[in-house]
């Protein structure tokens, strides 16, 4: 696996796709674990168009060993860096008949353990006792996101579309996108493959049109310490596995 090319692509374009990271058997095991969970918890969100689990690695600890296989560990170490740890995780299931689409946006918040007043941190949101805040730009620029695909995904079942190189332009309001200069790319990913992206890349997804589901495990990583008493809300999962 030539990871240097992927590292260069993330730096230059804001994302890369690497297929064949998980075997069919590993994906089936993950699917099985997810199917057998109690979905009544308040961190779970269920509708006709979307099923999501926040704090996924905390809620489903038995899946961690399946996710952090040798391929993923090598990718984290060689592309991100030696000291990167998990800071956020979500599971998304976009069902076959989903009408759910996501407009272009950047991921501008981090999940933390409490709300405290800090310079340059804000605005804040709280959902189900979970705290999210927009941090200073340097913290967002440091984060890498891995999206693990449990299904083949293309433009017909909600593959992410991105604006190339938009991750390097700071806070970029989607309403100001100038399509005469920007280039859109569709990120097709095979079942068992991953997409790695920088959260500041402008990204969105279309409605499903081919009757195929799209299940994705979204995990964010950083190696930065937060100021004062503030802590990343999901830190510790990956550190324990190393």
Domain that holds residue 66: 3-240
Of 76-85, 121-130, 170-179, 190-199, give the lowest mean pLDDT range: 121-130
Q: pTM for the complete prediction?
A: 0.94
The CATH number for 81's domain is 2.60.120.620
- Nearest alpha-carbon partner for 186 in 158, 219, 161: 161
Phi-psi map region of 46: left, alpha, beta (phi>0 left; psi -120 to 50 alpha): beta
- Nearest alpha-carbon partner for 126 in 137, 138, 135, 113: 113
- Supply the pLDDT for residue 242: 61
- Tabulate helix, strand, coil % of the chain (nearest 5): 25, 30, 45
State the DSSP code for 163.
E
- Nearest alpha-carbon partner for 76 in 240, 220, 227, 228: 220
Strands 110-112 and 102-105: unpaired
Read off the pLDDT of residues 35-68 as tens digits, 9 standing for 90 and up: 888 777 776 776 666 688 889 999 899 999 999 9
Judge whether 166 and 14 are in contact, CB under 8 Å.
yes
Judge whether 87 and 221 are in contact, CB under 8 Å.
yes
Strands 184-186 and 160-163: antiparallel
Read off the pLDDT of residues 5-18 as tens digits, 9 standing for 90 and up: 999 999 999 999 99
Judge whether 26 and 8 are in contact, CB under 8 Å.
no
CB neighbour burial string for 30-62, b if at least 16 within 10 angstroms, e if fewer = beeebeeeeeeeebbeeeeeebbbbbbbbbbee
Residue 64 phi/psi, 5-degree rounding, is -60, -40
Strands 102-105 and 85-94: unpaired
| Structural domain count of the chain | 1
Task: Give me the mean pLDDT over the 109-115 stretch.
Answer: 95
Judge whether 191 and 17 are in contact, CB under 8 Å.
no
């Amino acid at each position: 696996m030539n990871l240097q090319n992927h590292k260069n692509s993330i730096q230059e374009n804001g994302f890369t796709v690497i297929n064949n990271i998980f075997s069919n058997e590993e994906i089936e095991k993950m699917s099985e674990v997810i199917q057998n969970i109690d979905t009544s918890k308040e961190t779970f969100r269920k509708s006709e168009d979307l099923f999501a689990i926040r704090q996924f690695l905390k809620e489903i600890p038995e899946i961690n060993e399946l996710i952090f296989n040798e391929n993923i560990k090598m990718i984290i170490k060689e592309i991100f860096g030696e000291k990167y740890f998990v800071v956020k995780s979500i599971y998304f299931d976009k069902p076959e008949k989903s009408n759910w689409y996501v407009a272009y946006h950047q991921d501008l918040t981090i999940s933390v353990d409490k709300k405290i007043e800090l310079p340059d941190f804000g605005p804040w949101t709280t959902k189900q006792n979970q705290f999210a805040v927009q941090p200073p730009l340097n913290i967002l620029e440091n984060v890498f996101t891995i999206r693990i695909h449990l299904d083949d995904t293309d433009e017909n079942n909600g593959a992410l579309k991105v604006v190339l190189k938009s991750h390097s332009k700071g806070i970029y309001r989607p309403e100001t996108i100038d399509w005469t200069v920007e280039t859109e790319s569709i990120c097709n990913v095979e079942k068992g493959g991953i997409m790695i992206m920088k959260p500041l890349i402008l990204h969105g997804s279309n409605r499903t049109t081919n009757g195929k589901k799209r299940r994705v495990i979204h995990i964010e990583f950083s190696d930065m310490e937060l100021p004062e008493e503030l802590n990343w809300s999901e830190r510790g999962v990956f550190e324990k596995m190393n």
